[in-house]
Amino acid sequence: MSDQNAFLTIALNTWKTNIERADKLFSSFSDAQLLKDVAPGKNRLLYVFGHLTAVHDRMLPLLGFGQQSYPDLDAAFIAIPDKSQANIPSVQQVKQAWKDVNQKLSEEFARLSPADWLQKHTAVSEEDFAKDPSRNRFAVLMSRTNHLSYHLGQAILAPK
């Protein structure tokens, strides 16, 4: 392992560890529990789970891996706040999408070289990237790993 890869390897392991924590935590809840609020009056567990899934799905286009797979999750769990519409995707749909999206990300991550991680993400223009080369894929990885931790901290509070 070269020194250059060492930072990236650890960052990728941190992502993987957090995905595994989320797998374990969300599968520890029953379907009925997933429909409960994480704390009274706050988002439901299913909303948090769906939100994480939708945000990870959006990482596919953001990192240049192709289109997002589940635009319906985006519509239900990013575009609108929880409890603002009666029909949202089911627990089974979210569980399946969560698994699928993270599997896709994992496969794409494995294909990237360290230099690929330092290339721009797709939400920044060439011009802005030239001014600030830290707006790259690796910054997205850092940001989304912390986003996952943030919501895991909330999900763990939900009543069992």
Give the footprint of a second copy on this chain (CB under 8 A): 1, 3-4, 6-11, 13-14, 18, 38-40, 42, 114-115, 117-118, 133-134, 136, 138-139, 142-143, 145-147, 149-154, 157
Smallest gap from Cβ 61 to a second copy, in A, equals 21
| Rounded-to-integer distance, Cα 82 and Cα 62, Å | 24
CB atoms within 10 A of CB 155: 20
**CB of 75 vs a second copy, minimal distance in Å:** 23
Phi–psi pair at 115, nearest 5 degrees: -65, -35
CB of 31 to a second copy, least distance (A): 22
Q: Sort 149 into a burial class: Cβ within 10 Å, 0-12 / 13-18 / 19+.
A: middle
User: Residue 1 or residue 110: which is nearer to a second copy going by CB?
Assistant: 1
- Whose Cβ is closer to a second copy: residue 70's or residue 117's? 117
Spatial distance between the Cα atoms of 135 and 100, rounded to a whole number of angstroms? 26
Distance of closest approach, residue 25 Cβ to a second copy, in angstroms? 11
Beta strands in 7-159, from DSSP E residues, in sequence order: none
142: nearest Cα among 7, 4, 5:
7
Q: Among residues 98 and 138, whose Cβ is nearest to a second copy?
A: 138
Which is nearer to a second copy, 20 or 71 (by Cβ)? 20
